[in-house]
Amino acid sequence: MTHKSEKNWSGDPAELLRAGEGFVLSGVDPDETPGYSEGKDAAAEDLAIGVDDLDELQERLFAQSRTDASDASVLLLLQAMDSAGKGGVIRHVVGSVDPQGVMLTAFKKPTPEELEHDFLWRVQKHAPQPGYIGVFDRSQYEDVLIGKVRSLAPAEEIERRYDAINVFEKQLTDAGTRIVKVMLHISYAEQGERLMERLDRPDKHWKYNPGDIDERARWPHYMDAYQTVFERTSTDHAPWFVVPANRKWYSRLAVQQLLLGALREIDPQWPSATFDVAAEKKRLAAT
């Protein structure tokens, strides 16, 4: 079945962007737009069409969870280097969804209380409830990315975490959550330009942090850490998708399609009434 918002795609983004067996991050060109042959203008139109689809699917997912025994939910997990466009994806893709059906969590530097617990402690609490689209802006993967690059934990502990993450994600999927893990992939040069724009514009200064350049200096180490993440945690139950993100219009469109794909696989249905509709109409008419 082809949907209207997919008409300009030559293939399924969930196949084209998946970090499967033998995936090599350095082989991905952040300038490319895999599967999508049109440009920025068509992409804006397709994104708008996708919004309507997303709207109905989300409402069905929510409705289904209210009255049925369905435990289905979606978790969109976003990881990226600074300025790769997580915020824009949240604003333009997640932001198009009814906020009543979204549970968004931004994971910052862990608090002292969080550091006293296992690294998954703070994450588990924010798993989406049935019927919701959960969104993680950063996630448990920070603990094997910055955690590894900056040696914030011993090497054996970092090692342990990949398996712990896989077990955790398996529990989530077994409980009905469909997990979509996305890395927005920009180039080193593109990041340089975006950070410079933040420095050039006074209304963007608040987004800039001198520490951004310290992390930028570790770029190759981060790319290695991401490669390891994909090798260790891109599983059948919770695969990774690497989305080229030098063109913002493409990355937003692609993430929207990945989210739509997850919802279509759930295929949520309007629940049947749990009451006698005719009887209720009579009761209401009498008021």
Task: Rank residues 116 and 203 by Cβ distance to a copy of itself and give the closer one.
Answer: 203
Judge whether 182 and 79 are in contact, CB under 8 Å. yes
Q: Which stretch binds a copy of itself (CB under 8 A): 147-155, 157-165, 201-209, 232-240?
A: 201-209
Least distance (Å) between residue 242 CB and a copy of itself: 23
196 makes contact with a copy of itself (CB under 8 A): yes
Site string for a copy of itself, 124-163 (x = CB under 8 A): -------------x--------------------------
Task: Rank residues 44 and 196 by Cβ distance to a copy of itself and give the closer one.
Answer: 196
Count of residues in contact with a copy of itself, rule CB under 8 A = 44
Amino acid at 31: D
66 makes contact with a copy of itself (CB under 8 A): yes
Beta-carbon count within 10 A of 180 CB: 22
Q: What distance in Å separates the CA atoms of residue 116 and residue 62, rounded to the nearest whole number?
A: 35
What separation in angstroms does the CA of 106 have from each of 34, 89, 91, 136, 246?
A: 28, 13, 13, 6, 23
220 makes contact with a copy of itself (CB under 8 A): no
192 makes contact with a copy of itself (CB under 8 A): yes
Judge whether 17 and 32 are in contact, CB under 8 Å. no
48 makes contact with a copy of itself (CB under 8 A): no
Least distance (Å) between residue 196 CB and a copy of itself: 6
121 makes contact with a copy of itself (CB under 8 A): no
Least distance (Å) between residue 176 CB and a copy of itself: 18
223 makes contact with a copy of itself (CB under 8 A): no
For Cα atoms 9, 84, 213, give the angle at the middle one, nearest 5 degrees.
Answer: 160
- Please state the separation of Cα 261 from the chain's center in Å: 13
Q: Positive or negative CA dihedral for 259, 97, 30, 217?
A: negative
The only residue of 112, 155, 202, 236 in contact with a copy of itself, by rule CB under 8 A: 202
Task: Rank residues 121 and 275 by Cβ distance to a copy of itself and give the closer one.
Answer: 275
Least distance (Å) between residue 207 CB and a copy of itself: 8
Q: Which stretch binds a copy of itself (CB under 8 A): 164-172, 225-233, 258-266, 275-283?
A: 275-283
Task: Rank residues 91 and 117 by Cβ distance to a copy of itself and give the closer one.
Answer: 91
Binding residues vs a copy of itself (CB under 8 A): 63-64, 66-67, 87, 90-91, 94-95, 97-100, 102, 104, 106, 137, 192, 195-196, 199, 202-203, 205-210, 213, 216-217, 270-273, 275, 277, 280-281, 283-285, 287
